[in-house]
Chains A and B, each alone.
Chain A
Amino acid sequence: MTSAAPGAASAAPDEPTLRRILRATEVDTRMLGMIFALALIWVGFNVYTQIQSGEGLFLTPRNLWNLSVQTSSIAIMGTGMVLIIVMRHIDLSVGSIIGFVSTIIGVAQVRILPEYLGLDSPAIWILAVVLALVVGAAIGALHGSLVAYLGIPAFIVTLGAQLFWRGAAWWVTAGQTIAPLDPRFSLMGGGPHGSIGATWSWVLALLACVGIVFSLYSGRQRRARFRFPQRPMWAEYLIAAVGCFVVLGATLIVNAYPWPERVAARWAEANNVAVPAGGLFISTGWAIPVLIALVVGFAMTFLARRTRFGRYVYAIGGNPEAAELAGINTKRITVMVFALMGMLAAIAACIDSARLDSATNVLGQLDELYTIAAAVIGGTSLAGGVGTIYGALIGALVIQSLQSGMILLGFDSAFQQMVVGVVLVGAVGLDTFYRRRTAKG
């Protein structure tokens, strides 16, 4: 919808191969640029660590698996931030919402719910998650209402909210850290037990491949029914092949990362499995938070592209007055977008606190900035109307790759911040330059 796709692919004979492939597959060249940048970062860090310590530390199953887990919470929030920014708003409060929601659900699952349900009830984690979603959505809806109905700029509302909810998070626990959390709840944070293992990872990967092929096929059927121009057949095969290759390759990598020796040994002892001489190799597989992030990514893409709500968000971002004149209830959409953002921040709060197995009022500090950066690096325009969900996912991966790469290299956190700052400004600068050039043709 936002990317200009060429119509019929009637190739000029002397067109260069790469350009012909790009046109026939209708891929977003901007996305290719981002993936290229990401590849550069990955290879760069790997080569650097190789020179520094004799072995490449970045492109290892262990590091890539960790990267996937660390990226998930910013990626989840990034998908919502895209819609907020597309509507010409901003949300500076998401980091504080994480802090507040995590303390609320921490108190609920450790101090309140066990009193009624018993310590070991499986309902605890479910109620905690539901509570998180409800609280997050309510907070977001409150922000959205202030923006939509009172006309207070979103920047101010969410700046105030950032202070307010961070302070409120302190009040909930009087500054105490709540730990440990419910063991089932903690699975949402990943780790050896919070991952699905090799078998299920392959099952999911195969299902994903089937999904890719099916969606390409049904898209082709639909276009045929309306006699719209089709992509050439080889382009469809190419897309399917690349898609399946990425899915299967990523699964191979997460399955190549074994459980830590001690965890595996403890598991073997508990299950009466003999440990072989070289140690036990148990594949970790896809981590639960990463799966949550992928599901959120799909759901948000669906919401943005296939529903009225999404269409209205983009239309309002493109021209708020025109949307209003077309009869769209722009105020209600504004409230809904902020509520959605609050809900996504609540999911991030669950993942973050589960990962640390504790709830504290300082959780999520600065996350709003990384979330905005992910959306913007992913191609969301602050002028409104333009941005994609997958862009935010890749943007989150770029930021997290930079950070975890610098940690591998032993850079201190002050220096990391400086680099991320420069990259943010540089990325937007490059993008602006690129857009201006392509706009001129």
Chain B
Amino acid sequence: MDAQVRTPLIEMKDISIAFGGVKAVDHAYIDLYPGEVVGLLGHNGAGKSCLIKILSGAYKRDAGQIFVNGEEAHISNPRDAKSYGIETVYQALALADNVDAASNLYLGRELLTRWGTLDDASMEAEARKVMGRLNPNFRRFKEPVIALSGGQRQSVAIARAIHFNARILIMDEPTAALGPAETAQVGELVKQLKSDGIGIFLISHDIHDVFDLADRVTVMKNGQVVGSGRVSDMTKDEVLGMIILGKCPPGALPGPGAMQG
């Protein structure tokens, strides 16, 4: 499958955002094709979350363009992003702590009865179905999500992202709070979604997670892109070198953040 001749699902060009004096994202770029998993790697504070939060509408970029299916997209809040089919599992999970799993699953997109009131029963029934697929051990549907474990909260956040026919899924450290079994489960889920033709951004600073699942990786450092390339053209050590030193290997395309010389 030659991805390069097709129109990318997402193309972010020349994106910048600064907080006060900090250039969190500095002329960065990234793209994504249907059915592809792109890993976004980098140190703490490299700018990964900021870059994807611009795509998901959480932050407003200072400069740059976003294209969805080749057409320029206007994303200035999370609702805009969702209307393009962009769903996000945030690093901080972004759950409303004091309401239950079903309410979180449908937050902002509640099911209504024919009188326009909340249809909690249907939402709970749906939530039971989705969670049954994702995390069969999940039982605590009536409690506010603050009472759940980190892993349970994570499954609620993931369920919310995949339940609404996402075309583009952003997962920011989706396995951070999970044990080995659940991590493997998320891996399976990523593969399944990928085979459904969904494009996935997988963000992590742990390259082992990403290496097995991603087709390509982009590495960031200090807000800039160090380089990007196919996983099959690089070794783990080379990618580690990109993350730590900013040294771009021959198998990858160097970016402005690559070490000179």
Q: Counting CB contacts under 8 A, is B215 at the interface?
A: no
Contact residues in B for A307 (Cβ distance below 8 Å): 116-118
- Neighbouring A residues of B155 by C-beta, 8 Å: none
Chain A residues closer than 8 Å to B118, beta-carbon distance: 305-308, 311
Return the CB mask of A240-278 against B: 1 if under 8 Å, else 0: 000000000000000000000000000000000000000
Number of B residues with CB within 8 Å of any CB on chain A: 37
Q: Which residue of B lies closest to A381 (CB)?
A: B98
A16 at interface, CB cutoff 8 A: no
Q: In the complex the two chains form, is B117's CB within 8 Å of A319's CB?
A: no
Instruction: Indicate if the CB atoms of B99 and A315 lie closer than 8 Å.
Output: yes
Interface residue? B94 (CB, 8 A): yes
A2-16 CB mask vs B (1 if < 8 Å, else 0) is 101111000000000
Nearest CB of chain A from residue B22's CB, rounded to whole Å: 19
Nearest CB in chain A: distance from B153 CB, A: 11
Report the minimal beta-carbon distance from B176 to chain A, rounded to whole angstroms: 17
Q: In whole angstroms, how far apart are the Cα atoms of A302 and B117 in the complex?
A: 9
Q: How far is the CA of A217 from the CA of B202 in the complex (A)?
A: 48
Q: Which residues of chain A are near B124, meaning CB under 8 Å?
A: 226, 228
| Partner among B88, B109, B125 whose Cβ is within 8 Å of the Cβ of A226 | B125
B78 touches A324 (CB 8 A): yes
Pairwise interchain contact A4-B144, C-beta atoms closer than 8 A = yes
Give which listed residue, A226, A314, A327, contacts B96 with CB less than 8 A.
Answer: A314
- Closest-by-CB residue of B relative to A303 is B117
* B46 CB to nearest A CB, Å: 21
Q: Which of B78, B112, B125 contacts A326 (CB 8 A)?
A: B78
Give chain B residues whose Cβ lies under 8 Å from the Cβ of A2: 98-99, 144
Among B69-126, those with CB < 8 Å from A are 77-79, 82, 88, 90, 92-100, 103, 107-110, 112, 116-118, 121-122, 124-125
A321 contacts partner chain B, Cβ-Cβ < 8 Å: yes
Choose from B88, B96, B112 the contact partner of A318 (Cβ within 8 Å): B96
Contact A323 B98, CB 8 Å, known A4-B143, A308-B118: no
Does B236 reach chain A (CB closer than 8 Å)?
A: no
What is the CB-to-nearest-CB distance from A94 to chain B, in angstroms, rounded to a whole number? 25
**Residues of chain A from 372 to 411 with CB closer than 8 A to chain B in the complex:** 385-386
* CB-based contact B99/A314 at 8 Å: yes
Closest Cβ of chain A to B39, distance in Å, is: 23
Instruction: Pick the residue among A311, A325, A329 that contacts B99 (CB under 8 A).
Output: A311
Contact with B along A299-337 (1 / 0, CB 8 A): 000100111100100111111011111111100000000
User: Does residue B142 face the partner (Cβ distance < 8 Å to A)?
Assistant: yes
Interface centre among B108, B116, B141 (most CB of A within 10 A): B108
Q: Do the beta carbons of A327 and B112 come within 8 Å of each other? A: no
The answer to whether A326 touches B97 (Cβ under 8 A) is: no
- Cβ contact within 8 Å between A4 and B147: yes
Decide: B78 and A325 in contact? CB cutoff 8 A. Answer: yes
Residue of B nearest to A225 (CB): B121
Contact of B98 among A306, A314, A321, A324 (CB under 8 A): A314
Whether a CB of chain B sits under 8 angstroms from the CB of A418 is: no
Say how far A290's CB is from chain B's closest CB, in angstroms: 26
Task: Check if B58 is an interface residue, CB within 8 A of chain A.
Answer: yes
Q: Whole-angstrom distance between the alpha carbons of A311 and B117 in the complex?
A: 11
Q: How many angstroms between the C-alpha atoms of A4 and B124 in the bound complex?
A: 15
Interface size on A, residues (CB 8 A): 34
Q: A325-B78, A327-B77 are in contact. Are A311 and B94 (CB under 8 A)?
A: no
Chain A residues with CB under 8 Å of B58's CB are 324-325
Nearest Cβ distance between residue B54 and chain A, in whole angstroms? 13
Most buried by B among A1, A2, A329: A1
A322 contacts which chain B residues (CB < 8 A)? 93-97, 107
Q: In the bound complex, what is the Cα–Cα distance between A93 and B56 (angstroms)?
A: 38
Asked whether A223 is an interface residue with its Cβ less than 8 Å from the other chain, the reply is yes
Closest to A5 in B: B142
Task: Using CB atoms, name the residue of chain A closest to B53.
Answer: A325
Are A385 and B98 closer than 8 Å at their CB atoms? Answer: yes
Q: Tell me the complex Cα distance, A145–B108, Å.
A: 21
Give every chain A residue within 8 A of B79 (Cβ-Cβ).
Answer: 327, 329
Q: Does A222 contact B (CB under 8 A)?
A: yes
Against B, the Cβ 8 Å flags (1 = close, 0 = not) of A354-388 are: 00000000000000000000000000000001100
Interface pair B82/A327, CB less than 8 Å apart: yes
Bound state CA distance, A302 and B116, in angstroms? Answer: 12
| Interface pair B107/A315, CB less than 8 Å apart | yes
Q: Given B97, B109, B116, which contacts A385 in the complex, CB threshold below 8 Å?
A: B97
Which residues in A have some Cβ–Cβ distance to B below 8 Å? 1-2, 4-7, 222-223, 225-226, 228, 302, 305-308, 311, 314-319, 321-329, 385-386
> What residues make up the interface of B, taking CB atoms closer than 8 Å to A?
56, 58, 77-79, 82, 88, 90, 92-100, 103, 107-110, 112, 116-118, 121-122, 124-125, 139, 141-144, 146-147
Kindly list the 3 A-B residue pairs having the minimum CB-CB distance in the complex, ordered from nearest: A318-B98, A315-B96, A385-B98
Starting from the known contacts A315-B99, A326-B94, 11 additional A-B residue pairs (CB-CB under 8 Å) come to A1-B100, A4-B142, A7-B141, A226-B121, A226-B125, A228-B121, A311-B99, A314-B98, A319-B98, A326-B96, A329-B79
15 residue pairs A–B, Cβ–Cβ below 8 Å: A2-B98, A4-B142, A5-B142, A7-B142, A228-B124, A307-B118, A308-B110, A314-B98, A315-B98, A318-B98, A319-B94, A319-B96, A321-B94, A324-B78, A325-B56
